[in-house]
């Protein structure tokens, strides 16, 4: 009646400048078959990885290729940079955050040297997935943008 029971939509910004694509287009079956959950991916044009939402850093992998943010609505979001980049053992990755730290949407999280990934034969696609959200209604907005671009909306 007054929208009291209306679910709030959550905007998810692109974590990096580039082309937003469907998660099904990623070359890794763990992600493209949604074993890690619903999500989207970005083919990056630079290596600055920013927070797609405001929240708290729950964990950052020692290799700095992936991290988990918990939103203010308690939704867990995994940012995973590249395919098989764990093999690089942190080479080419610099982190600006740590576990327990609050971050604002669009705040810098990581810097990735895309040339290092390329030189090591690694796909540099950046994936954003929601591992714990089984019934997530995610509206992905395909196209080119940057950290100010809304890449998806949780309905």
Where in the sequence numbering do the catalytic residues fall? 80
- φ and ψ of 100, to 5 deg: 90, -10
Cβ-contact 14, 151 below 8 angstroms? yes
Give CA–CA dist 132/118, Å, rounded. Answer: 31
Query: 106: closest CA among 42, 44, 39, 55?
Result: 55
The continuous run of DSSP H or E covering 79 comes out as strand 76-81
Nearest to 114 by CA among 144, 88, 77: 88
> Are 151 and 87 in contact, with CB atoms under 8 Å apart?
no
Residue 24 CA to residue 110 CA, distance in Å, equals 24
Q: Radius of gyration (Cα) for the chain, nearest Å?
A: 15
């Amino acid at each position: 009646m007054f929208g009291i029971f209306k679910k709030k939509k959550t905007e998810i910004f692109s974590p990096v400048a580039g082309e937003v694509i469907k998660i099904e287009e990623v070359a890794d079956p763990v992600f493209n078959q949604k074993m890690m959950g619903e999500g989207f991916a970005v083919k990056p044009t630079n290596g600055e990885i920013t927070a797609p939402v405001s929240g708290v850093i729950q964990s950052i992998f020692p290799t700095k290729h992936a991290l988990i943010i918990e939103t203010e609505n308690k939704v867990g979001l995994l940012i995973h940079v590249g395919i098989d980049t764990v093999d690089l053992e942190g080479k080419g990755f610099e982190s600006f955050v740590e576990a327990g730290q609050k971050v604002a949407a669009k705040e810098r999280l990581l810097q990735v040297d895309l040339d290092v990934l390329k030189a090591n034969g690694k796909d540099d696609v950046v994936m954003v997935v929601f591992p714990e959200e089984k019934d997530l209604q995610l509206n992905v907005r395909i196209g080119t943008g940057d950290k100010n671009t809304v890449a998806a909306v949780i309905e």
